Amino acid sequence: MTGIYNRTIKMFGSHPEPGFESAGQQARVWGRRWGCDNDVGQLRVCLMHRPGEEMAIVDPARRIEEIGSYGDLDKGWYFQSDTIPDWDEFREQHDGLVGTLQAEGVEVVFLDSVAPDGLKSIYTRDSSFAVKGGAIVGRMARAIRRGEEAHVTRTLARLGMPILRTIHGAGLAEGGSFAWLNRGTAAIGRSICVNDEGCDQIEQVLAVQGVELLRVDMSGYSIHIDGHLTMIDVDTAIVDPDGLPYAFLEKLKELGIRTIEISERDDRWIVNCLAVSPGRVVMPRGLSNRTASTLASLGIEAIEIDYDKVQLNGGGIHCSTCPLIRDSVH
């Protein structure tokens, strides 16, 4: 019996190649080629959440003057702004973003569930993010968001997307602070929401894929890099330089990435935008004439939509979208 077993193993063997992330293996084992190796290739599948009954937790009677907004220390929720929006308008703007993406040929999928008090769950960028061949599920830093990880994990499993790592132990990492710069380089904004342990775990996954991870220290209490940098073309990023270290801005030049710096007349939320394909970007209204002219001169098309009501909850267009599949670019 042992001889038959040995001959069988020798004949059929084990096969580490082709690798997990290869197109053939992804299609054969996981049904389609999952993941992203950039932030600008044609967006194929995007994870979102339409805000629902969970927004009712925002109680205008729970004013906290110290923060100039609303919240409940006992229950652990807070609202980001001093103005509570009309929730119908809030949802209409989110629906507008969904419709815009669908018009661009994007398959929009939605979270299967959220927590009853998950008022930040609309910002799907943060609970997970895509790398080559699958997803990394983050570990949310703030109590108001802890638990989103379980809901996104169930959704990704239902979709059939491989989960290559779940940040665990004392690691903290949120997808809004992760950015692909090119297929061989990514950046992670180290902040109150992303610690070294979280960076280490992400780096372990990327190292297997031959990707370098740059650690970028955010300023003050800035939480995510996508408030200060978003790639909008293969070699172009829109940036708010005040929130990025000088050494990192120089590294972008070294990588051949040109930067479009927003002006004082721009709505600062325009940095929190989303490329749906190289040089075609969904942005909130608020572009200054100068920045609009710069984008046009570089052949970059800006699709402007209303998103100011959603931004009152503390996140923008980029925050509200989690790409699961993008085309590769070269």
Q: Assign 169 a pLDDT band (cuts: 50, 70, 90).
A: very high
pLDDT for 61: 94
pLDDT digits (tens, 9 = 90+) for 225-260: 999 999 999 999 999 999 999 999 999 999 999 999
Stronger pLDDT, 3 or 164, i.e. the higher one: 164
Residue 157 falls inside a structural domain: yes
Residue 18 falls inside a structural domain: no
pLDDT digits (tens, 9 = 90+) for 300-327: 999 999 999 999 999 999 999 999 999 9
Count the domains in the chain: 1
Query: What percent of the chain clears pLDDT 70, i.e. is strictly above it?
Result: 99
Residue 110 falls inside a structural domain: yes
Residue 81 falls inside a structural domain: no
Q: What is the C-alpha to C-alpha distance for residues 181 and 260, in angstroms, rounded to an integer?
A: 15
For residues 125 and 226, the answer to whether their CB atoms sit within 8 Å is yes
What's 178's domain CATH number?
3.75.10.10
Give the residues across from 301 on adjacent strands: 280
pLDDT for 220: 85
Which residues have CB under 8 Å from 127's CB, separation 6+? Answer: 121, 137, 138, 140, 145, 148, 149, 151, 152, 174, 175, 322
Residue type, 161: M
Res. 13: pLDDT tops 90: no
Sign of the C-alpha dihedral computed for residues 317, 319, 323 and 324 taken in this order: negative
| Structural domain harbouring 42 | 31-55+86-326
Mean pLDDT score, 112-126 = 97
Residue 175 falls inside a structural domain: yes
pLDDT for 4: 76
pLDDT digits (tens, 9 = 90+) for 39-82: 999 999 999 999 999 999 999 999 999 989 999 988 889 998 99
Residue 71 falls inside a structural domain: no
Averaged pLDDT score across all residues of the chain = 95
Q: Assign 7 a pLDDT band (cuts: 50, 70, 90).
A: confident
Mean pLDDT score, 129-137 = 98
pLDDT for 86: 96
| SS3 of residue 204 by DSSP | helix
Q: What is the C-alpha to C-alpha distance for residues 115 and 219, in angstroms, rounded to an integer?
A: 31
pLDDT digits (tens, 9 = 90+) for 34-43: 999 999 999 9
The neighbour count for residue 142, using CB atoms within 10 Å, is 14
pLDDT for 330: 78
Between the alpha carbon of residue 127 and those of residues 52, 93, 155, 175, 328, the distances in Å are: 18, 22, 11, 6, 23
Which residues have CB under 8 Å from 183's CB, separation 6+? Answer: 37, 38, 211, 328, 329, 330
Residue 182 falls inside a structural domain: yes
Rounded to a whole number of angstroms, the CA Rg of the chain reads 21
pLDDT digits (tens, 9 = 90+) for 14-26: 888 999 999 999 9
pLDDT for 1: 56
Residue 16 falls inside a structural domain: no
Residue that has been written with the tokens 């703007």 in this structure: 93
Q: What is the C-alpha to C-alpha distance for residues 304 and 291, in angstroms, rounded to an integer?
A: 13
Res. 3: pLDDT tops 90: no
